[in-house]
Amino acid sequence: MSENCIFCKIVKGSLPSTKVYEDDEFFAFKDINPAAPVHILVVPKAHVVSMQDVQDDDAPWLGRMMALAPKIAAENGCRPGLQGGFRLVINNGDDGGQEVHHLHLHILGGQRPW
Q: Which is nearer to ligand DGP, 18 or 111 (CB)?
A: 18
For residue 6, give every residue at least 6 positions away whose Cβ sits within 8 Å of its Cβ, in sequence order, or none: 15, 100, 102
Q: Does 29 bind ligand DGP (CB under 6 A)?
A: yes
Exactly one of 20, 31, 54, 62 binds ligand DGP (CB under 6 A); that residue is 31
Binding of residue 58 to ligand DGP (CB under 6 A) = no
Q: Is 101 a catalytic residue?
A: no
CA distance linking residue 79 with residue 54, whole number of Å: 31
Alpha carbon distance 77, 44 (integer Å): 22
- Under the binding rule (CB under 6 A), the answer on residue 99 touching ligand DGP is yes
